[in-house]
Amino acid sequence: MLQTAAIFLDRDGTLIEDVHYCKDPALVRAFPGVVDALVSLRARGFRLVIITNQSAIGRGLMTLDQYEAVHARTLEVLAPVEIDATYLCPETPEKPSDRRKPAPGMVLEAARDLDLDLSRSWFIGDKSIDVQCGRASGTRSILVLTGRGTRDDGEGAQFVARDLAEAAEFILKQSDAS
């Protein structure tokens, strides 16, 4: 059976506005163009997987229930797009974890769970750890400038995009060329 390619997506600063340790669903706002970009990627057969570090849980600044409420709201604002899966790492940076980005654990777990072809997949995020995670897991990476990252954080990325819409356009052009 042929494995499917995926788009791995950081959440805060990539799909939705980065509200420091967001625990209020009312603060969830998708960036302009995100839904259309995800629809176009889905239409080309890509699976969509959110990969998110949420150290506020490990720090005791947010409960798992608060995270779940924000995540549910995120999925609502991304409708009608179906997100195939979400992988969460609640550990703090001080706690060793093979799942916390930039480590590739969550991406590798998703690849096993969803039978994904990482060599045909992409990781899109707004920080250097997202680019590093993509590279460590065997995907191609794109840095978007909608969150905390700067152009310098895109070292090692295949592309630095203004936003998710431009990243999706780049991926679709690359898919056409191959």
Report percent pLDDT > 90 for the chain.
Answer: 88
Q: Measuring CA to CA, which residue among 95, 24, 88, 22 is closest to residue 50?
A: 88
Q: In the prediction, which pLDDT does 162 show?
A: 97
Q: 112 burial class (0-12, 13-18, 19+ CB within 10 angstroms)?
A: exposed
The Cα–Cα gap between 100 and 53 comes to 6
Q: What is the pLDDT of residue 177?
A: 58
Does the pLDDT of residue 1 top 70, yes or no?
Answer: no
Enter the DSSP assignment of 173: H
Tell me the average pLDDT across 90-118.
96
pLDDT tens readout for residues 30-61: 999 999 999 999 999 999 999 999 999 999 99
- Mapped onto helix, strand or coil, the DSSP state of residue 103 is coil
pLDDT of residue 26: 96
Are the CB atoms for 126 and 148 separated by under 8 Å?
yes
pTM of the full structure: 0.96
Residue 20 pLDDT: 85
Catalytic residues: 10, 12
Q: Is the peptide bond before 102 cis (omega within 30 degrees of 0)?
A: yes
> Would you state the structure tokens that stand for residue 26, as one six-digit string?
């009312």
Domains present along the chain, CATH in parentheses:
6-148+158-177 (3.40.50.1000)
